Structure 1
């Protein structure tokens, strides 16, 4: 029996908060572990739906008694067929002595959780270039993590970019 190769990541010019696909969709993005929500892609998410920000803030406030930490993922349903994945993949919000806030290992762990949920829901995944904006990450490091987790699990992935 032969298996077909995984579908590569699809790149589209556009808005990741308006995913271009049928069926269940998960919009994934990277959050920090400091409780900050107010710059970057999260602003586009909040303009469209209030629930992901409110859920993230509750999750952070109650962090002593939950799994809020690098590598964790919170799934928030915003519409019948749309979920938001708040992935903790950034330590703090500023570049410091240990470099930019991006934490690639945490993003990889979060992507594994995301892949499992996407398979469970039969969902496609939509995202900006996660970890590469305010987190200061490099796409040539993040893209292989997406291939090793989501693409390897057979999940359709679309990455959106603005001009």
Structure 2
């Protein structure tokens, strides 16, 4: 694969055969309650529980901007919690919470895991919802970190 495949659909119902990783961006506050994470929690309880535990025990682990956590939800499906957002958006003057350098670092960790598992990666336009990012800035990171390493990537735009 030399490009990202864009499809209309639900990233929590990834298409195709083989091992798949559903990737999304989380904040560094331990908050889980708005945006794409709600779709994840409706489908699987494990990613939210693992993320909250990871944050709660952060003094003893790698939780922080740029970190990635991989949670197995079925024999051939994993969810990647990528910490790429500083806090949450509380007002216009605070600026956007997205941190492109953190997304880049987390994508590097995701690439290593995908190669090890022989997995494809499935995601919404990460960092571009509540995090306030721009796909024009995130897409090159996905291309460089994942696609250039030969990892099949599908980006889902929700809706019919």
- Same fold? TM cut 0.5: yes
What 5-or-longer segments of structure 2 have no aligned partner? Answer: none
1:154 aligns with 2:157: no
| Distance in 1, Cα, partners of 2:16 & 2:28 | 30
| Count of residues paired in the alignment | 158
- Aligned counterpart in structure 2 of residue 10 of structure 1, from 2, 5, 8: 5
Distance 1:120 1:34 in 2: 29
- Residue in 1 that maps onto 2:14: 19
> Secondary structure of the residue that 1:107 maps to in structure 2?
helix
Q: Which residue of the other structure, out of 79, 86, 90, is the alignment partner of 2:81?
A: 86
The answer to whether structure 1 residue 55 and structure 2 residue 35 are counterparts is: no
The residue matched to 1:126 in structure 2 has which SS?
strand
Contact 1:71-1:87 within 8 A present in 2 as well: yes
Aligned with 1:144 (options 125, 131, 140): 140
Offset of 1:7 from its aligned partner?
1.9
For 1:148 and 1:7, locate their aligned partners in 2 and report how far apart those are by CA, in whole Å. Answer: 11
Alignment of 1:45 with 2:40, yes or no, is: yes
Q: Which residue of structure 1 aligns with residue 121 of structure 2?
A: 125
Question: Could you list the per-position Cα deviations for residues 26-76 of structure 1 after superposition, in whole angstroms to 9, with x for gaps in the alignment?
Answer: 000000000100000000000000000000000000011110000000000
TM-score, normalised relative to structure 1: 0.94
Unaligned runs of 5+ in 1: 1-5
Q: Secondary structure at the match of 1:152?
A: helix
Structure 1 vs Structure 2 CA RMSD: 1.0
- Residue in 2 aligned with 1:3? none
C-alpha separation in 1, matches of 2:119 and 2:90:
34
CA distance in 1 between counterparts of 2:56 and 2:122 reads 27
